Amino acid sequence: GISAGQTFNPPPPFTLSEGCRVRRKTMFLLRFAAYTALALSVAEASNVLPLRPSLVSTGGISAGRLVPLRGGSAMKRALSHENLGAEVQGTDDTLEQRIYAKDDTDEHRSLWHDLPLFEVDIKTGKPTGFVNFVCEIPKYTRKKFEIATKEPMNPIKQDEKKGQLRSFKKGDIYFNYGCFPRTWEDPDYVHPDVGVGGDNDPLDVCEIGLRQIKTCQVRPVKVLGVLCMIDEGEADWKVIAIDKEDPWAEKLNDISDVEKLLPGTLDVVREWFRTYKVPDGKPENKFAFEEKFMDRAFCLQIMHETHRAWARLVKGSVEEEEAKKEDKPAARKFTMKRNLSVPALDAMKQVEGSLLEDEARLTEAMNKAAIG
């Protein structure tokens, strides 16, 4: 016991020895590294590019932390139609004019590489289930605007041939025309049901809603189906979609709904693409699948193929750059062969961040379409 007048001095709290603390931290870091390696191996096997972490020590084990393997600025929040604007550089109707996408910090962003395939709610950071559509040519216009896939940051420009700006000689187009980000029609991939390779561009989209969408504007759309045009020996898929806020959007869920509720719409799209090159002295275009529009489930498969092709393109380009630094031969010379502008190494972090989410959303949509 404690007699009167004595002071109680409690025993010192239990503490680990320095050696024990080091061993515990070492075990934690080893386990974390093992889990990270496992996750990366699964992702690599799926041909997707997760954000690669690396354990870095800056003065002892206690300083271990996660940092991006590749350099660059901090990960930016997801891009959306809500935080993207446009910046026009140059004069209308000139070869020099470019239309750049810029975020809410006024920084230029690539509509091909930086914008996620699926729309992300900027408040919650979660996918909404709709797909991001990049409009290049507004309906009821004829100037042939397109994403400049060979230029840094991929601005939109008016196409040209032999120094002359191109417009559709056939006349105004009847629907909003553009593409899906983070997709690529690989010329080396021959679809088993088509027999020819892709056209080396992002996946084309025809938005059939009521309102006109501006050039460089991004809109979330619902995917309905797809048409496969054969253009000069290349597969040129045309996705049919509708703006999620269009009055018809709630009633249109598959390509058959378009035929039923908006008869003649798909015929107009097909006939436009069949004959739009005839005024240039070229023959009519042909179509696969007996000229049929394929349904939503089939379209999602094409989106999946072209999204993974884009991921391989970006990954192959990065591997090529890394091989150059190490003075080693690259497995495949993507950038030289394709002559496309892909993200630099210091920008890869932005591209990698939502690849897994894009892949997951596509898989989820494909499964739902199969069940339905």
pLDDT at 86 over 50: yes
Q: For residue 312, what pLDDT band results from cuts at 50, 70 and 90?
A: confident
Residue 240's contacts (CB-CB under 8 Å, 6 or more residues apart) are: 206, 208, 223, 224, 225, 226, 227, 255, 258, 266, 269, 293, 299
Which segment, 217-221, 230-234, 333-337, 366-370, is predicted with the most confidence on average? 217-221
pLDDT attached to residue 124:
83
149: left (phi over 0), alpha (psi -120 to 50) or beta: alpha
pLDDT attached to residue 36:
39
Who wins on pLDDT, 16 or 247?
A: 247
- Assigned token pair, 169: 């000689």
Nearest to 127 by CA among 244, 217, 252: 244
pLDDT at 169 over 50: yes
- Assigned token pair, 323: 């091989």
Task: Please give the mean pLDDT across all residues of the chain.
Answer: 78
- Assigned token pair, 114: 């930086």
Strands annotated E in the chain? 53-56, 65-68, 84-89, 98-103, 108-109, 118-120, 127-137, 145-147, 156-158, 160-161, 164-165, 176-179, 204-207, 218-231, 234-243, 286-287
Walk me through the domains of the chain, giving residue ranges and CATH numbers: 18-68 (no CATH), 84-305 (3.90.80.10)
CA distance 205 to 132: 10
Q: Which of 80-89, 121-130, 154-163, 194-203 has the lowest mean pLDDT?
A: 121-130
Q: For residue 123, what pLDDT band results from cuts at 50, 70 and 90?
A: confident
Q: How far is CA 193 from CA 189, 270, 295, in A?
A: 12, 19, 15
